[in-house]
Structure 1
Amino acid sequence: MDRREVGTFNDRNRRGGEGSCHKMRLWKHLYLLPLSVFLGFIVTFFTTYTIAVQLDHVKPDFPYISDGGACPPESCIFGQMLNMTAVLLGLTVYVRYSLVEDYYSCGHMRARWERWLNVAGAVCGMSGAVGISIVGNFQVTNALGMHLLGAMLAFFLGVFYCWIQVPITYRTRPDMTRPWLTWVRLLIAVLCSVLFISGWVCAAATPAEFSHRLTNSIKACNASEIPDSEWGMPSHGWEYHVCSTASEWAVGLLFSVFLLTFVYEFRLVTVEKPKLLRVASVLHQRRWVGIECLEPPPPLLARRSRRVPPTVAPVSTGAHRHAYSTVNQAEGGVS
């Protein structure tokens, strides 16, 4: 019985047609990923801060990053920009993971802990990207608990991701990176850790009354609820608040710079586009056949006998191999 061929879209030319479909399709200029993440954070932070200050939603000296995106219209820009940047960050983390994994597979990194460290970095990076999206979508004025959860994921796992990348950078030199990048990333990781701790300590030291009034002014989108005469007075806890907010801004900017350093490794990396597979069913039979070829197979695939073996072992012809896999489904169930 006749059955349709199943395979990659490149199989359409297996009988000597055009050869253009066999060309490898590549994505180049992957260094634009970390560069886009860096620019996305910078543009988002300063755009929303400028709009919030101009509309008198926050005091110019000195709100949290998310306070600048708590009220409309800047909250709309804040959420949309952070969502897009989070997606780009996830792609950057994945490419970085794949790059180190390939380096490990080639035998340059032999210790098992190095591979697990790379996996841990990918998990932390992806989770941090999710946290950034949560921060953008759950504003501090609408869902404080979810906002704080997203902030913890973004900042804590972001700092941890920096520390994970330091030994990975050290182990991949000099083939994939340069020694000076190890020291730059180590310095950024140390600064992020110190500033992260100081930010949370200063936030906890801020008097509850001052924090309550500040939160109410942000929810009301009216910075004038706290008079300028009281803003900046040490007796009201202003200095602890500014210490906390300045630390948060510094950690966010340093993390952006850390991701920017990936440009060096990504500049010579290309990614092959995924292959699309078309699946066709056998006419008048409840049977599926799947074929994946590493090379265009010989032309005698149009007809076969009705009895198809459940599996076909790889066949080697010289230096080339064709891998075939079949999944048969009988009349009453899967065999």
Structure 2
Amino acid sequence: MWSPWALLPLVHSVITGAGLWVVYFVAVYDEKIAPLGSKYKRTNGSFYPPYISIAGNFPPASCIFSQVMNLSAFLGFIVVVLRYLQLKPILDKQWLNVGCLVAFSAGCFGMTLVGNFQLFAEEMIHNLGTFMTFGLGTLFCWVQSYITLKVNMQNEGRKAGVLRFLLSGSITVSMILHFSLMPQGLHMQAAQCQWALVMFFLIFLGTFAIEFRHNRFETVVTDNSGRPVLPSEPFAGVTRYRPEL
């Protein structure tokens, strides 16, 4: 029987992906960016290239973009905390587990910078958020791929690990191509690589449903002495994780 927590990574990926495509279509409809796949050559007054940050730069798409990125950062942070709790009792190299938690948490903060500081208004802060999101996010994917093979939960680690290594490689190649094509003025191709990078990254996060379906995460309320609090007593929150392996 699957745990309902398996839905969380999937919901995060679907909502984020759908929200970003809504931003794209709104920007195309408002004639702010050129459609993906079109022949692009910018002249004065023409469309901008369809980079995600440019699509989310102009209202009303910018309003949607901010909401999508904030919600994605929040849900992504919850996913990585639950992943940390899941690995804590079974991973011998806890510094890898803690490192993933810190790196992805910083990446989630970077998402909020990307969403709330538009590219044309605050370019330096926006680019810092982009570096944190893509750079730390890619590192997180590679380490999690290794951890998946190392832990081999429910004897599914090899299949899930191979899938995650393939996705990590796709993310890395897309990012390298994106930053290589931009200086050459090949903006349409660079934008396509950026969209591919984000979609691969969302698919990667969605794969955590594989492990989450085996686990249940519960919150137990205790007082300061560790004694369970009765329903009629005041709350004092302490989180406890109970795996079902």
Indicate whether 1:156 and 2:114 are aligned.
no
Distance 2:50 2:179 in 1: 15
SS of match in other structure, 2:167:
helix
Q: What percentage of aligned pairs have identical amino acids?
A: 30
| More contact order relative to length (CA 8 Å, sep ≥ 6) | 1
What residue identity is the alignment partner of 2:35? Answer: P
Q: What displacement does 1:86 show?
A: 0.6
What residue identity is the alignment partner of 1:138? Answer: F
Q: What displacement does 1:74 show?
A: 1.0
- Cα pair 2:6 2:210 within 8 Å, conserved: yes
Select 2:226's aligned residue among 279, 288, 292.
292
Select 2:6's aligned residue among 23, 31, 35.
31
Q: Going by fraction, where is helix more abundant, 1 or 2?
A: 2
SS of match in other structure, 1:200:
helix
Q: What displacement does 1:200 show?
A: 0.8
Select 2:28's aligned residue among 33, 48, 53.
53
TM-score by length of 1: 0.61
Distance 1:60 1:47 in 2: 13
Indicate whether 1:40 and 2:15 are aligned.
yes
Q: What displacement does 1:83 show?
A: 0.3
Aligned to 2:116: 137
Indicate whether 1:244 and 2:190 are aligned.
yes
- Cα pair 2:167 2:200 within 8 Å, conserved: yes
Deviations 1:218-241 (A, max 9, x none): xxxxxxxxxxxxxxxxxxxxxx11
Alpha-carbon distance change, 54 to 168 in structure 1, aligned in 2, over 3 angstroms: same
Q: How does 1:236-275 map to 2 (within 5 A)?
A: 240-275=186-221
- Cα pair 1:176 1:265 within 8 Å, conserved: no
- Cα pair 2:145 2:165 within 8 Å, conserved: yes
Q: Which runs of 5+ in 2 are unaligned?
A: 37-48, 231-245
What residue identity is the alignment partner of 2:160? Answer: L
What residue identity is the alignment partner of 1:40? Answer: I
Q: What displacement does 1:294 show?
A: 5.6
Q: Which has the larger radius of gyration?
A: 1
TM-score by length of 2: 0.83
Alpha-carbon distance change, 80 to 167 in structure 1, aligned in 2, over 3 angstroms: same
Distance 2:227 2:171 in 1: 49
Select 1:89's aligned residue among 59, 65, 76.
76
Q: How does 1:1-335 map to 2 (within 5 A)?
A: 29-61=4-36, 62-104=49-91, 109=92, 114-175=93-154, 177-206=156-185, 240-275=186-221, 277=223, 290-293=224-227
Tell me how many residue pairs correspond in the alignment: 216
- Cα pair 1:40 1:82 within 8 Å, conserved: no
Distance 1:152 1:253 in 2: 17
Distance 1:177 1:133 in 2: 34
Q: Which runs of 5+ in 1 are unaligned?
A: 1-27, 207-239, 278-289, 297-335
Q: What displacement does 1:35 show?
A: 1.0
Distance 1:293 1:44 in 2: 44
What residue identity is the alignment partner of 1:292? Answer: G
Distance 1:175 1:102 in 2: 15
- Cα pair 2:222 2:229 within 8 Å, conserved: no
- Cα pair 2:6 2:209 within 8 Å, conserved: yes
SS of match in other structure, 1:103:
coil
Distance 2:134 2:194 in 1: 9
- Cα pair 1:44 1:78 within 8 Å, conserved: yes
SS of match in other structure, 1:141:
coil
Distance 1:163 1:275 in 2: 36
CA RMSD of aligned residues (A): 1.8
Q: Which runs of 4+ in 1 moved over 6 A?
A: none
